[in-house]
Amino acid sequence: MTVNIRFDPIRLPKICQDLRHEVRDFLHEEEAAGTFDRRENAMGGIFNKEFSRKVGAKGWIGMSWPKKYGGHERTFLERYVVTEEMRVANAPVRGHFTADRQSGPIILKLADEDIKADILPRIAAGECTFCIGMSEPSNGSDLFAARVKATKTDGGWLINGSKIWTSYAHLADYMIALFRTSPCTKENRRHGLTNFLVDLKNFNDIKINPVVNLRGQHEFNEVVFEDTFIPDQYVLGEIDGAWKQATSELAYERSGPERFLETSYVLFELAQVLGKQPDSRAAEGLGRLVAGLHTLRRMSVSVNGMLQAGEEPTIQGSLVKDLGTIWEQELPAKARDLATFVPPGNSNRASFDALLNYGIQVAPKLTIQGGTTEVLRGIIARGLGLR
């Protein structure tokens, strides 16, 4: 068997580059109006409902979904451009991004008609925030060891147990959660888990407790269920069969520009602080960083183009995420070295230092969130036929 990992050199069509300018204009207007500040927002404060509504009004949420559910039937590549422009501007997209990227597509695929008709248009309007309830205190990487229990009762299910590290649960309207509906079987340890839609604002008996990150910020949470009742209608997909879902969505979720642009502000500040005539040492470092970013972006565009063409570039998606998260993680450390000889009195130094220091502290999470490097490499190894 030969391993053939294809990345076609796909270019964004003109319609995408036109859209890019529209998005940039919009972002500049919003900044001018004081909705956000790209430097300040690099360091948190990325949740802004009003901003999400405006993005929804522009038609930039649920871009590829059917019009009947509030979507816009545009291409993955158009969505790609919106995502990357928002990301490099550090725009406050948290209010809608999770729903746009992950939760919406899952609902589209698995939810019943009433729920689709109710929720998808609200997501697309920027009015609905989602969070993801996968990790638990006793299991993170090993998703299939999930324990939070869903017990069948009249007309629905009773949930007991805790999810943890749930980003933005305290601000979210809904969670898509993985609960245990049956024990696993001898033949299949992945059996017995089911996806549920949880209405955080309207279901009773859910407690959301803050967990503070090392920067002192409240981003993630512990979510405790105590006999929480979930009606049958809120089951997503096959009962006990959650493991069968998600193949192409995963490539999509792993390969987006947000997988290598999270600390991009450090690169832009570095270019600023080094000035127009850096010495060879700094120029070399800057050149290598740019080469890495350009290559990642070309790979990522390629994966999204292949998805648009109906292919399932699963291994390519994982490769982009592995290389991308490592690149964005190493960026602050490299920038720190390269700017060493910029004197403290340089007029751009204080600004650079503030964002650099933030980037250094954020760096560790980049290879943990959404699946660790080790887990990702295991997936790649499987794609190579080694497992």
Partner 1 sequence: MNGSDNIIINTTAKILNDLCDPQTINNSNDEKWKSTLWSALEENGLTRAWVPEEFNGVGADVADGFEILRIAGQFAIPVPIAETLLAGWLLSETGLNVPDGMLSIAPVNQHDTVMLDENDTLTGTAHQIPFGRDVAQVVVLAEKSGQTFLALVNREDCILQQYDSHASEPRDTIEFNRVSPVQCAETKVTRDHLLRMGAAIRCSEMGGALQHILNIAVQYSKEREAFGRPISKFQAVQHNLAQLAGEAAAAVSAASSAADTINSGDGFNDAGFLEIASAKIRAGEAAGKGAAIGHQVHGAIGYTTEHILHRYTQRLWSWRDDFGGESVWAVALGEFVAANGADQLWPTIAAR
Ligand X SMILES: Cc1cc2nc3c(=O)[nH]c(=O)nc-3n(C[C@H](O)[C@H](O)[C@H](O)COP(=O)(O)OP(=O)(O)OC[C@H]3O[C@@H](n4cnc5c(N)ncnc54)[C@H](O)[C@@H]3O)c2cc1C
Among 57, 212, 350, 381, binds partner 1 (CB under 8 A): 381
**Smallest distance from partner 1 to CB 89, Å:** 9
Residues that bind ligand X (CB under 6 A): 131-135, 140-141, 165-167, 220, 365, 368-372, 374-375
Q: Where are the beta strands (DSSP E) in the chain?
A: 130-133, 149-153, 156-164, 174-180, 193-199, 206-212, 218-231, 235-236
Residue 167 binds: one of ligand X, partner 1, none (C-beta under 5 to 8 A by kind): ligand X
Give yes or no for a contact between 363 and 263, defined as CB atoms under 8 angstroms apart. yes
Nearer to partner 1, 164 or 293 (CB): 293
Q: 123 φ, ψ to 5°?
A: -60, -50
* Of 268, 312, 351, 365, the one binding partner 1 by CB under 8 A: 268
**10 or 184: CB nearest ligand X:** 184
Q: Which two tokens stand for residue 342?
A: 């910029």
Which amino acid, 204? N
**Would you count residue 287 as binding partner 1 (CB under 8 A)?**
yes
Which residues does residue 266 pair with via DSSP β-bridges, in sequence order? none
Q: Which amino acid is at 165?
A: W
DSSP reduced 3-state for 375: helix
Binds partner 1 by CB under 8 A, chosen from 302, 314, 325, 367:
302
32 binds partner 1 (CB under 8 A): no
271 binds, among ligand X, partner 1, none (CB under 5 to 8 A by kind): partner 1
Q: What is the DSSP letter of 44?
A: S
Structure tokens belonging to residue 168: 């933005």
| CA–CA gap between residue 300 and residue 237 (Å, rounded) | 29
Phi-psi domain of 227 (left: phi exceeds 0; alpha: psi -120 through 50; beta: other): left
**98 vs 300, beta carbon nearer partner 1:** 300
Work out what residue 276 binds among partner 1, ligand X, none; the CB cut-off runs from 5 to 8 Å by kind. partner 1
Give which of partner 1, ligand X, none residue 369 binds (C-beta under 5 to 8 Å, depending on kind).
ligand X
Q: Which residue matches tokens 């040492």?
A: 281
Residues listed for the chain: 387
Q: Which of 291, 337, 341, 364 binds partner 1 (CB under 8 A)?
A: 291
Q: Which residues bind partner 1 (CB under 8 A)?
A: 1-3, 5, 7-9, 11, 17, 20, 84-85, 88, 264, 267-269, 271-272, 274-278, 280, 282-288, 290-299, 302, 315-316, 319, 322-323, 374, 376-378, 380-381, 383-387
